[in-house]
Chains A and B, each alone.
Chain A
Amino acid sequence: MNSRLGAAVVTLGLITWPGAAAITLAPPAVAADQPGTARDRSWIEQRVDAWQPSKEERAFDTIGWARDLREAERLAKEQHRPIFLFTYDGASLAHYRC
Protein backbone atom coordinates (compact mmCIF):
# COMPACT_ATOMS: atom_id res chain seq x y z
CA MET A 1 0.00 0.00 0.00
CA ASN A 2 2.85 2.34 0.81
CA SER A 3 4.01 2.55 -2.78
CA ARG A 4 0.51 3.36 -3.97
CA LEU A 5 -0.39 5.83 -1.29
CA GLY A 6 2.91 7.55 -0.86
CA ALA A 7 5.03 7.84 2.21
CA ALA A 8 3.24 6.67 5.30
CA VAL A 9 3.67 7.98 8.75
CA VAL A 10 4.60 5.78 11.64
CA THR A 11 5.85 7.84 14.51
CA LEU A 12 5.59 7.95 18.23
CA GLY A 13 1.97 8.04 19.25
CA LEU A 14 0.67 8.04 15.72
CA ILE A 15 -0.34 5.19 13.48
CA THR A 16 -1.85 6.37 10.25
CA TRP A 17 -1.42 6.81 6.57
CA PRO A 18 -1.93 9.84 4.33
CA GLY A 19 -5.49 11.01 3.89
CA ALA A 20 -6.68 9.21 6.97
CA ALA A 21 -7.67 10.56 10.31
CA ALA A 22 -5.03 9.87 12.91
CA ILE A 23 -5.46 8.74 16.43
CA THR A 24 -2.98 9.28 19.16
CA LEU A 25 -1.99 6.43 21.37
CA ALA A 26 -0.51 7.31 24.69
CA PRO A 27 3.18 6.40 24.87
CA PRO A 28 4.28 4.09 27.66
CA ALA A 29 4.40 6.04 30.87
CA VAL A 30 6.28 3.64 33.10
CA ALA A 31 8.40 0.59 32.65
CA ALA A 32 6.60 -1.41 35.30
CA ASP A 33 4.19 -4.06 34.15
CA GLN A 34 0.92 -3.41 35.90
CA PRO A 35 2.14 -3.65 39.47
CA GLY A 36 -0.26 -5.33 41.82
CA THR A 37 -2.34 -6.94 39.10
CA ALA A 38 -3.09 -10.57 39.88
CA ARG A 39 -2.74 -12.60 36.74
CA ASP A 40 -4.64 -15.73 37.57
CA ARG A 41 -6.70 -17.87 35.21
CA SER A 42 -9.67 -15.59 35.62
CA TRP A 43 -7.60 -12.55 34.62
CA ILE A 44 -6.28 -14.38 31.56
CA GLU A 45 -9.75 -15.53 30.49
CA GLN A 46 -11.14 -12.04 30.96
CA ARG A 47 -8.37 -10.58 28.85
CA VAL A 48 -8.97 -13.11 26.07
CA ASP A 49 -12.69 -12.31 26.10
CA ALA A 50 -12.18 -8.56 26.24
CA TRP A 51 -9.94 -8.50 23.18
CA GLN A 52 -12.13 -10.57 20.87
CA PRO A 53 -13.55 -8.64 17.89
CA SER A 54 -16.82 -6.91 18.74
CA LYS A 55 -19.99 -7.05 16.67
CA GLU A 56 -19.16 -3.62 15.26
CA GLU A 57 -15.69 -4.78 14.31
CA ARG A 58 -17.22 -7.72 12.48
CA ALA A 59 -19.76 -5.72 10.47
CA PHE A 60 -17.97 -7.08 7.44
CA ASP A 61 -19.30 -10.52 8.32
CA THR A 62 -22.89 -9.36 7.80
CA ILE A 63 -22.28 -9.15 4.06
CA GLY A 64 -23.33 -12.14 1.96
CA TRP A 65 -20.03 -12.64 0.11
CA ALA A 66 -19.69 -15.06 -2.78
CA ARG A 67 -17.01 -17.71 -2.34
CA ASP A 68 -15.05 -16.73 -5.43
CA LEU A 69 -15.23 -14.77 -8.66
CA ARG A 70 -16.76 -17.64 -10.60
CA GLU A 71 -19.65 -18.01 -8.18
CA ALA A 72 -20.18 -14.24 -8.16
CA GLU A 73 -20.34 -14.11 -11.95
CA ARG A 74 -22.77 -17.02 -12.12
CA LEU A 75 -25.10 -15.45 -9.55
CA ALA A 76 -24.85 -12.03 -11.17
CA LYS A 77 -25.96 -13.41 -14.53
CA GLU A 78 -28.76 -15.50 -13.05
CA GLN A 79 -30.14 -12.75 -10.82
CA HIS A 80 -29.30 -9.72 -12.98
CA ARG A 81 -27.29 -8.08 -10.24
CA PRO A 82 -24.09 -6.08 -10.57
CA ILE A 83 -20.93 -7.43 -8.97
CA PHE A 84 -19.01 -5.64 -6.26
CA LEU A 85 -15.46 -7.01 -6.44
CA PHE A 86 -13.11 -6.02 -3.63
CA THR A 87 -9.46 -6.88 -4.25
CA TYR A 88 -6.86 -6.57 -1.51
CA ASP A 89 -3.32 -7.46 -0.48
CA GLY A 90 -2.34 -9.35 2.62
CA ALA A 91 -2.41 -12.65 4.44
CA SER A 92 -6.20 -12.85 4.63
CA LEU A 93 -9.11 -10.48 4.77
CA ALA A 94 -9.38 -10.79 8.53
CA HIS A 95 -5.67 -10.19 8.92
CA TYR A 96 -5.42 -7.32 6.51
CA ARG A 97 -7.25 -4.32 7.86
CA CYS A 98 -7.28 -1.98 4.96
Chain B
Amino acid sequence: MRASSLSNTRIIDLLNSYFVPVHLRNQDYNEHGDASAQEKAERNRIYRESLEAGLPAGTVCAYLLTPDAHPVDVAPLNRPEATNPERLAEKMERVIHDLEVTRGEPLLAPAPQSAPPPCAPDSLVLHLTARYLERHGDDFVRLDTKSVLGTQKAGNWGNLPSEDWIVWTKEEWVRLLPPGAVRSGTSWELDKEVPATLLRRFFPPTENTDFDNNRIDDQSLTARVESVEDGVAHARLEGTLTMKHPFYHKDDGNFVRAKLVGFMDFETGTPRIRSLRLVTGRATYGTDANAGQFFGVAVRSVP
Protein backbone atom coordinates (compact mmCIF):
# COMPACT_ATOMS: atom_id res chain seq x y z
CA MET B 1 0.00 0.00 0.00
CA ARG B 2 2.96 2.28 0.65
CA ALA B 3 4.22 1.91 -2.90
CA SER B 4 0.77 2.18 -4.47
CA SER B 5 -1.90 4.33 -2.83
CA LEU B 6 0.32 6.04 -0.26
CA SER B 7 2.73 7.11 -3.01
CA ASN B 8 -0.07 8.49 -5.20
CA THR B 9 -0.29 12.28 -5.51
CA ARG B 10 -4.10 12.34 -5.53
CA ILE B 11 -4.30 10.25 -2.36
CA ILE B 12 -1.61 12.33 -0.68
CA ASP B 13 -3.47 15.53 -1.57
CA LEU B 14 -6.72 14.15 -0.15
CA LEU B 15 -4.95 13.05 3.03
CA ASN B 16 -3.27 16.40 3.59
CA SER B 17 -6.23 18.56 2.63
CA TYR B 18 -9.22 16.77 4.16
CA PHE B 19 -8.09 14.10 6.65
CA VAL B 20 -6.08 13.57 9.78
CA PRO B 21 -3.75 10.79 8.67
CA VAL B 22 -2.21 8.48 11.24
CA HIS B 23 -0.50 5.11 11.04
CA LEU B 24 0.19 2.52 13.68
CA ARG B 25 2.18 -0.67 13.90
CA ASN B 26 0.04 -3.59 15.02
CA GLN B 27 2.82 -5.16 17.08
CA ASP B 28 2.80 -2.09 19.34
CA TYR B 29 -0.87 -2.74 20.04
CA ASN B 30 -0.83 -6.42 20.91
CA GLU B 31 -0.71 -7.72 24.47
CA HIS B 32 3.02 -7.07 24.92
CA GLY B 33 3.23 -4.00 22.68
CA ASP B 34 4.57 -0.61 23.75
CA ALA B 35 1.39 1.39 23.09
CA SER B 36 -0.44 2.67 26.14
CA ALA B 37 -3.43 0.76 27.48
CA GLN B 38 -5.62 3.66 26.41
CA GLU B 39 -4.31 3.57 22.83
CA LYS B 40 -4.69 -0.22 22.67
CA ALA B 41 -8.27 -0.01 23.89
CA GLU B 42 -9.03 2.67 21.31
CA ARG B 43 -7.49 0.70 18.45
CA ASN B 44 -9.46 -2.40 19.52
CA ARG B 45 -12.67 -0.39 19.70
CA ILE B 46 -12.20 0.84 16.14
CA TYR B 47 -11.53 -2.69 14.92
CA ARG B 48 -14.51 -4.13 16.80
CA GLU B 49 -16.86 -1.35 15.74
CA SER B 50 -15.83 -1.85 12.12
CA LEU B 51 -16.68 -5.54 12.26
CA GLU B 52 -19.99 -4.81 13.99
CA ALA B 53 -20.81 -2.40 11.18
CA GLY B 54 -20.18 -5.16 8.65
CA LEU B 55 -16.99 -3.59 7.35
CA PRO B 56 -14.13 -5.88 6.22
CA ALA B 57 -11.71 -4.78 8.93
CA GLY B 58 -8.27 -6.37 9.04
CA THR B 59 -4.85 -5.96 10.52
CA VAL B 60 -3.24 -4.33 7.47
CA CYS B 61 -5.94 -1.91 6.61
CA ALA B 62 -6.95 1.71 5.99
CA TYR B 63 -9.79 2.80 8.27
CA LEU B 64 -11.84 5.88 7.38
CA LEU B 65 -13.28 7.33 10.58
CA THR B 66 -15.60 10.19 11.37
CA PRO B 67 -14.22 13.18 13.33
CA ASP B 68 -15.55 11.34 16.40
CA ALA B 69 -13.47 8.29 15.41
CA HIS B 70 -16.30 5.98 14.38
CA PRO B 71 -15.62 3.83 11.30
CA VAL B 72 -17.51 4.66 8.13
CA ASP B 73 -15.47 2.64 5.67
CA VAL B 74 -12.37 0.48 5.51
CA ALA B 75 -9.97 -0.63 2.81
CA PRO B 76 -8.15 -3.83 3.77
CA LEU B 77 -4.98 -4.69 1.95
CA ASN B 78 -6.38 -7.88 0.46
CA ARG B 79 -8.94 -5.89 -1.53
CA PRO B 80 -8.21 -3.63 -4.49
CA GLU B 81 -9.77 -0.63 -2.72
CA ALA B 82 -6.55 -0.32 -0.73
CA THR B 83 -3.95 -0.67 -3.45
CA ASN B 84 -5.89 0.86 -6.34
CA PRO B 85 -5.46 4.61 -5.81
CA GLU B 86 -8.51 5.49 -7.91
CA ARG B 87 -10.79 3.24 -5.89
CA LEU B 88 -9.36 4.38 -2.59
CA ALA B 89 -9.77 8.02 -3.68
CA GLU B 90 -13.44 7.33 -4.47
CA LYS B 91 -13.95 6.02 -0.94
CA MET B 92 -12.20 9.01 0.57
CA GLU B 93 -14.14 11.50 -1.55
CA ARG B 94 -17.41 9.86 -0.57
CA VAL B 95 -16.52 10.34 3.09
CA ILE B 96 -15.50 13.95 2.44
CA HIS B 97 -18.82 14.58 0.70
CA ASP B 98 -20.99 12.83 3.28
CA LEU B 99 -19.31 14.57 6.21
CA GLU B 100 -19.23 17.93 4.40
CA VAL B 101 -15.52 18.40 5.02
CA THR B 102 -13.98 21.55 3.61
CA ARG B 103 -10.56 21.67 2.02
CA GLY B 104 -7.74 23.06 4.15
CA GLU B 105 -4.04 23.10 4.77
CA PRO B 106 -2.33 20.03 6.29
CA LEU B 107 -2.87 20.07 10.05
CA LEU B 108 0.61 18.72 10.73
CA ALA B 109 3.88 19.35 8.93
CA PRO B 110 5.12 16.33 6.98
CA ALA B 111 8.21 14.73 8.47
CA PRO B 112 10.48 11.82 7.53
CA GLN B 113 8.95 8.61 8.80
CA SER B 114 12.36 6.97 9.00
CA ALA B 115 14.30 8.89 11.64
CA PRO B 116 17.22 7.97 13.88
CA PRO B 117 16.21 6.78 17.32
CA PRO B 118 17.20 8.78 20.37
CA CYS B 119 20.61 7.75 21.67
CA ALA B 120 23.59 8.82 23.77
CA PRO B 121 25.87 11.46 22.19
CA ASP B 122 28.82 9.06 22.03
CA SER B 123 26.80 6.41 20.18
CA LEU B 124 27.52 5.46 16.59
CA VAL B 125 24.34 5.82 14.55
CA LEU B 126 24.08 3.86 11.31
CA HIS B 127 21.51 4.21 8.55
CA LEU B 128 20.84 1.19 6.36
CA THR B 129 19.13 1.03 2.99
CA ALA B 130 18.33 -2.29 1.32
CA ARG B 131 16.86 -2.74 -2.15
CA TYR B 132 16.55 -5.20 -4.98
CA LEU B 133 18.90 -4.59 -7.90
CA GLU B 134 19.31 -5.68 -11.46
CA ARG B 135 22.43 -6.42 -13.39
CA HIS B 136 23.52 -3.75 -15.82
CA GLY B 137 26.71 -4.73 -17.59
CA ASP B 138 29.32 -5.24 -14.91
CA ASP B 139 27.37 -3.35 -12.30
CA PHE B 140 24.24 -3.80 -10.24
CA VAL B 141 21.79 -0.91 -10.40
CA ARG B 142 18.53 -0.02 -8.73
CA LEU B 143 15.30 -1.06 -10.38
CA ASP B 144 13.54 1.66 -12.33
CA THR B 145 10.20 1.86 -10.56
CA LYS B 146 9.20 5.46 -11.35
CA SER B 147 6.49 4.40 -13.75
CA VAL B 148 4.75 2.10 -11.24
CA LEU B 149 5.10 3.97 -7.94
CA GLY B 150 1.77 5.48 -6.98
CA THR B 151 -0.17 3.06 -9.16
CA GLN B 152 -1.90 -0.24 -8.58
CA LYS B 153 1.00 -1.94 -10.33
CA ALA B 154 3.27 -1.13 -7.40
CA GLY B 155 2.34 -4.26 -5.48
CA ASN B 156 5.78 -5.76 -5.52
CA TRP B 157 8.50 -6.19 -2.93
CA GLY B 158 10.95 -4.68 -5.39
CA ASN B 159 9.13 -1.39 -5.71
CA LEU B 160 10.53 0.29 -2.63
CA PRO B 161 13.71 0.00 -0.62
CA SER B 162 13.67 -0.62 3.09
CA GLU B 163 15.40 1.56 5.65
CA ASP B 164 16.63 0.86 9.11
CA TRP B 165 18.60 2.47 11.91
CA ILE B 166 21.17 0.77 14.09
CA VAL B 167 22.70 2.37 17.17
CA TRP B 168 25.93 1.10 18.68
CA THR B 169 26.84 2.33 22.13
CA LYS B 170 30.42 3.36 22.79
CA GLU B 171 30.98 0.05 24.58
CA GLU B 172 29.95 -1.67 21.37
CA TRP B 173 31.71 0.35 18.67
CA VAL B 174 35.07 0.44 20.48
CA ARG B 175 35.16 -3.33 19.97
CA LEU B 176 35.57 -2.71 16.23
CA LEU B 177 38.87 -0.90 16.72
CA PRO B 178 42.25 -2.65 16.63
CA PRO B 179 44.18 -3.45 19.77
CA GLY B 180 47.55 -1.75 20.15
CA ALA B 181 49.33 0.75 17.94
CA VAL B 182 47.90 1.65 14.56
CA ARG B 183 49.98 2.25 11.48
CA SER B 184 49.56 1.89 7.77
CA GLY B 185 49.17 -1.80 7.00
CA THR B 186 47.71 -2.75 10.37
CA SER B 187 45.04 -5.36 9.79
CA TRP B 188 42.68 -7.20 12.07
CA GLU B 189 39.55 -9.31 12.08
CA LEU B 190 36.65 -7.31 13.46
CA ASP B 191 34.77 -8.48 16.51
CA LYS B 192 31.94 -10.74 15.35
CA GLU B 193 29.24 -10.02 17.88
CA VAL B 194 28.81 -6.29 17.27
CA PRO B 195 28.88 -6.39 13.43
CA ALA B 196 26.40 -9.28 13.58
CA THR B 197 23.77 -6.90 14.96
CA LEU B 198 24.16 -4.96 11.72
CA LEU B 199 24.64 -7.86 9.34
CA ARG B 200 21.45 -9.56 10.52
CA ARG B 201 19.68 -6.72 8.72
CA PHE B 202 21.46 -7.36 5.42
CA PHE B 203 18.53 -8.67 3.42
CA PRO B 204 16.27 -7.17 0.75
CA PRO B 205 12.65 -6.15 1.44
CA THR B 206 10.72 -9.23 2.53
CA GLU B 207 7.59 -9.79 4.57
CA ASN B 208 9.74 -11.25 7.33
CA THR B 209 11.44 -8.40 9.20
CA ASP B 210 12.33 -10.44 12.26
CA PHE B 211 16.07 -9.99 11.94
CA ASP B 212 16.82 -11.33 15.43
CA ASN B 213 16.00 -14.82 14.19
CA ASN B 214 18.19 -14.64 11.10
CA ARG B 215 20.84 -17.35 11.27
CA ILE B 216 24.32 -16.27 10.30
CA ASP B 217 26.18 -19.30 8.96
CA ASP B 218 29.30 -17.48 7.88
CA GLN B 219 30.51 -14.00 8.68
CA SER B 220 33.86 -12.39 8.15
CA LEU B 221 34.86 -8.76 8.25
CA THR B 222 38.48 -7.68 8.19
CA ALA B 223 39.96 -4.22 8.34
CA ARG B 224 43.27 -2.97 6.98
CA VAL B 225 44.64 0.51 7.60
CA GLU B 226 45.55 2.13 4.30
CA SER B 227 46.86 5.37 5.72
CA VAL B 228 47.12 7.43 8.89
CA GLU B 229 46.92 11.20 8.58
CA ASP B 230 46.72 13.77 11.37
CA GLY B 231 45.76 11.16 13.92
CA VAL B 232 43.04 9.63 11.79
CA ALA B 233 43.35 6.10 10.44
CA HIS B 234 41.64 5.22 7.17
CA ALA B 235 40.84 1.52 7.12
CA ARG B 236 39.37 -0.56 4.36
CA LEU B 237 36.78 -3.18 5.26
CA GLU B 238 36.18 -6.41 3.38
CA GLY B 239 34.09 -9.39 4.24
CA THR B 240 31.48 -11.97 3.38
CA LEU B 241 28.12 -12.99 4.77
CA THR B 242 26.02 -16.12 4.44
CA MET B 243 22.77 -15.92 6.36
CA LYS B 244 19.51 -17.78 6.40
CA HIS B 245 16.54 -15.43 6.21
CA PRO B 246 13.04 -16.76 5.38
CA PHE B 247 10.99 -14.55 3.07
CA TYR B 248 7.91 -15.15 5.18
CA HIS B 249 7.71 -16.25 8.79
CA LYS B 250 8.35 -19.90 8.03
CA ASP B 251 11.35 -21.88 6.87
CA ASP B 252 11.82 -21.65 3.11
CA GLY B 253 15.51 -22.27 2.46
CA ASN B 254 16.25 -18.69 1.38
CA PHE B 255 19.77 -17.45 2.05
CA VAL B 256 21.60 -14.17 1.80
CA ARG B 257 25.02 -14.49 0.19
CA ALA B 258 26.95 -11.28 0.03
CA LYS B 259 30.38 -9.83 -0.39
CA LEU B 260 31.03 -6.74 1.68
CA VAL B 261 33.29 -3.76 1.20
CA GLY B 262 33.58 -0.48 3.04
CA PHE B 263 35.78 1.83 5.02
CA MET B 264 36.11 3.12 8.54
CA ASP B 265 37.88 6.30 9.57
CA PHE B 266 38.80 6.44 13.24
CA GLU B 267 40.90 8.55 15.53
CA THR B 268 44.02 6.83 16.79
CA GLY B 269 44.17 8.87 20.01
CA THR B 270 40.87 9.10 21.81
CA PRO B 271 38.72 6.30 20.49
CA ARG B 272 36.23 7.72 18.04
CA ILE B 273 34.88 6.43 14.73
CA ARG B 274 34.51 9.42 12.44
CA SER B 275 32.93 7.67 9.50
CA LEU B 276 31.84 4.20 8.52
CA ARG B 277 30.54 2.94 5.20
CA LEU B 278 29.69 -0.64 4.33
CA VAL B 279 28.05 -1.84 1.12
CA THR B 280 27.41 -5.13 -0.56
CA GLY B 281 29.34 -6.15 -3.64
CA ARG B 282 27.66 -9.04 -5.37
CA ALA B 283 24.75 -10.02 -3.15
CA THR B 284 21.99 -12.51 -3.80
CA TYR B 285 18.94 -13.68 -1.90
CA GLY B 286 17.32 -17.00 -2.66
CA THR B 287 17.55 -20.75 -2.38
CA ASP B 288 20.23 -23.08 -3.68
CA ALA B 289 17.83 -24.07 -6.42
CA ASN B 290 17.01 -20.66 -7.79
CA ALA B 291 20.37 -18.86 -7.42
CA GLY B 292 18.62 -15.84 -6.00
CA GLN B 293 17.75 -12.22 -6.67
CA PHE B 294 20.32 -9.47 -6.74
CA PHE B 295 20.06 -6.97 -3.94
CA GLY B 296 22.16 -4.30 -2.34
CA VAL B 297 22.63 -2.89 1.14
CA ALA B 298 24.28 0.43 1.92
CA VAL B 299 25.23 1.48 5.45
CA ARG B 300 26.45 4.93 6.41
CA SER B 301 27.23 6.47 9.76
CA VAL B 302 25.19 9.56 10.60
CA PRO B 303 26.29 12.30 10.77
Instruction: Give per-residue flags for A40-79: 1 if the beta carbon is below 8 A from chain B beta carbons, else 0.
Output: 0100110110111100111111111111111111011101
Most B CB within 10 A of own CB, among A17, A34, A57: A57
Chain A residues within an 8 Å CB radius of B55: none
Q: A80's closest neighbor in chain B, by CB? A: B67
Which of the four size classes fits the interface of chain A? 35 or more
Report the bound CA distance from A13 to B293 in whole Å: 7
* Distance in Å: Cβ of B117 to nearest Cβ of chain A: 10
Known contacts A37-B138, A87-B60, A93-B113; is-contact A77 B68 (Cβ 8 Å): yes
Instruction: Give per-residue flags for B126-148: 1 if the beta carbon is below 8 A from chain A beta carbons, else 0.
Output: 00010110110011111101101
Q: Are B77 and A64 in contact (CB under 8 A)?
A: no
* Distance in Å: Cβ of B200 to nearest Cβ of chain A: 12
Q: Are A48 and B279 in contact (CB under 8 A)?
A: yes
Q: Are B22 and A83 in contact (CB under 8 A)?
A: yes
Q: Which residues in window 212-270 of B have CB below 8 A to A?
A: 234, 247-249, 252, 254, 259, 261-263
Q: B24's closest neighbor in chain A, by CB? A: A87
Report the bound CA distance from A84 to B292 in whole Å: 38
Q: A94's closest neighbor in chain B, by CB? A: B114
Chain B residues within an 8 Å CB radius of A2: 207, 248-249
Chain A residues within an 8 Å CB radius of B158: 15, 23, 25
Report the bound CA distance from A92 to B300 in whole Å: 19
Q: Are A89 and B7 in contact (CB under 8 A)?
A: no
B53 located at the interface, meaning its Cβ lies under 8 Å from any Cβ of chain A in the complex: no
Which 5 residue pairs of A and B lie closest in terms of their CB atoms, listed nearest first?
Answer: A20-B155, A94-B114, A12-B290, A64-B106, A72-B22
Residues of B within 8 A of A (CB): 1-3, 6-9, 12, 15-16, 18-27, 35, 38-39, 42-43, 46, 58-69, 72, 76-78, 80, 83, 92, 95-96, 99, 101, 104, 106-114, 129, 131-132, 134-135, 138-143, 145-146, 148-150, 152-164, 205, 207, 209-211, 234, 247-249, 252, 254, 259, 261-263, 277, 279, 281-282, 284, 286, 289-294, 296-300
